[in-house]
Amino acid sequence: TKYWKLTKQEKIDIEMIQEASTLLKQGETVAFPTETVYGLGADATNSEAVSKIFAAKGRPQDNPLIAHVANKQQLERLVCGWPAYVDKLMEAFAPGPLTFVLPSNGVCAENVTAGLSTIGVRIPSHPIARWLLRVCDLPIAAPSANLSGKPSPTSAEHVWTDLQGKIAGVVDGGATGVGLESTVIDCTQDIPIILRPGGITQEEIKEITGAVMIDPALANQSERPKSPGMKYKHYSPEVPLYIVEGSLEAIQRKINQLKMEGKLVGLMASTKATNHLTADEVIPLGDNLTQIASKLYDALRTFKNGKVDIIISESFSEKGIGQAVMNRLKKAASQYIELN
């Protein structure tokens, strides 16, 4: 696996981007940063290249990939058209962390869409992703660049840990920004439906389109999600994670109780809460939901088996980006405990 560390010297960077782009054109897999998480890219029009993504990640074959493009013109070449509200959404949020599910026209390889009639398409805003997409001039299929089931990678080190030796290269562009994946929105109906909450919030979308629905399966575990990827267990840390809701005193009592049982307890919470709580390993996630989102996956990867036996996480507000934070936390957790 080749490793490109991008510097600020533009000339070197362009050479590295060209090398990465050449590998993509040759049908190899290359990981690169986006504004959400690192993606593992391959030529979306080449089914053999795309199958290397599934193999490297150990990804279930029925989970479709997102095609990344440089601009709206490239996006238009992959789909059969869209309702008028999509133009408004694109004006507001593209490039950016929003993935549009639209009717596919079959230009991308069949394994990109896992046989569905729709395709997820997104225009990332990260400068390295944009550069790479422009230079290789191809739609790039890219899921998050982690082993299936693990937290998505927010740094090149995370990618290296998971996929070293299994992929052709990694472009290291430093830590990603948002820290959670894009919002996936089904735009095949009169009213858009959020299939996966993410970087663009429900509130922001509603402001543009007036109406927006949310896949009922996101709130109700017994319904089958409309997005295949949402049914899998995800983002799993090495040890069990409990989300606890309650006062700081109640959370501390829970930690103490687990310690009495002989357990080493890891704690992740807002910085404010961590100032009042003690545990064996404590990771402050920041002062607000935006910071918490950007640090969440790194924290989940930091708690190691052997250092802690259990992770306790504070429960967060579901407002704004909090909806995506809590969606990922609940998928990572084995229990949700309400304390009083």
Tell me how far, at minimum, the Cβ of 138 lies from ligand TXA, in Å. Answer: 15
- The identity of residue 140, as a single letter, is I
| 176: contact with Mg ion by CB under 5 A | no
Number of residues forming the site for ligand TXA (CB under 6 A): 30
**CA neighbor of 299 nearest in space, from 261, 337, 325:** 325
63 is in an annotated binding site: yes
Selected from 29, 46, 125, 144, the binder of Mg ion by CB under 5 A is 144
Give the per-residue contact string, 241-270, with ligand TXA (x = CB under 6 A; - = no). ------------------------------
196 is in an annotated binding site: yes
| 300: contact with ligand TXA by CB under 6 A | no
Tell me how far, at minimum, the Cβ of 152 lies from ligand TXA, in Å. Answer: 6
| 120: contact with ligand TXA by CB under 6 A | yes
> Cα separation of 32 and 41, whole Å?
7
Count of CB atoms situated within 10 Å of the CB of 76: 15
Tokens representing residue 167 in the block? 């992929």
Its sign, for the CA torsion 69, 74, 78, 83, is positive
Selected from 74, 111, 125, 144, the binder of ligand TXA by CB under 6 A is 144
Tokens representing residue 59 in the block? 């990804």
Residue 39 interacts, among ligand TXA, Mg ion, none and using kind-specific CB cut-offs from 5 to 8 Å, with ligand TXA
The conformational region for residue 142 under phi > 0 = left, psi -120 to 50 = alpha, else beta, is: beta
> Cα separation of 126 and 124, whole Å?
6
Tokens representing residue 338 in the block? 């309400």
List interacting residues with Mg ion (CB under 5 A): 144
List interacting residues with ligand TXA (CB under 6 A): 34, 36-37, 39, 63-66, 97, 99, 101, 113, 116, 118-120, 122, 124, 142-144, 181-182, 184, 195-196, 227-230
